[in-house]
Amino acid sequence: MRQLNFNFSGHLSLLQQAGKIFLLLSVVLAAYCVWKYEETEQELSVIRAHQSKLARVQSDASATRQNAEVLSAKDEEIKYANRVIDRLALPWDRLFNEMENTVDADVVLLDVAPDAERGRISFTSETRDLSTMLNYERRLAQSPLLRDVVIQSHQVQIQDPQKPVRFVVAADWLRKTQEQLP
């Protein structure tokens, strides 16, 4: 009869460890996205309540000079509230889904910086080599939500023994509502 040899030492290959780290980072990023989404939903309801209150105050105000100054301040608050509501109404879910679809095991997404006012978004990422960086940029360029995708900067991290490439990709973000998107 053959002797069975069991190895319970649990040594994981570097690729398995990297996969587990990537999975953990993905779960953390997903949890963060859900948390931020819930937080912005709460802010949106507070802002809408505040906006309706401001609208009632505005309609009840008299035409006196003092009330005109109050109305001017209220108008600014309403404009600000409308800008915030417009930001919250952007298709954040679709953007996050698109980001998840473009990232693969060779690309680590470090930072996402959307600028809703200007319709720009930038991604800071890290990968093993320049060709993977270029492939990632091409995948982003194929997204229906992004246009004018460019690599703004890249740098080989020489202090890291694996010498990964850290880079920033910027794009124009198509700020259409969920109904307008294909």
155-168 average pLDDT score = 88
88-106 average pLDDT score = 77
Number of domains in the chain: 2
Q: CA-based Rg of the chain, rounded to a whole angstrom?
A: 24
Amino acid at 81: A
- From 46, 74, 89, the end of a domain falls on 89
4: which DSSP letter?
A: P
Instruction: Tell which wins on pLDDT, 137 or 2.
Output: 137
From CA 145, how far away is CA 133, in angstroms rounded?
19
Strand partners, 123: 112, 169
Please indicate, yes or no, whether residues 74 and 95 belong to a single structural domain of this protein.
Answer: no
Please indicate, yes or no, whether residues 112 and 163 belong to a single structural domain of this protein.
Answer: yes
pLDDT in tens, 54-83: 877 767 665 566 667 777 888 888 888 887
- From 71, 89, 107, the end of a domain falls on 89
| Spatial CA neighbour of 55 closest among 80, 75, 83 | 75
| Residue 92 structure tokens | 């954040």
Q: Does residue 99 contact residue 113 with C-beta atoms inside 8 Å?
A: no
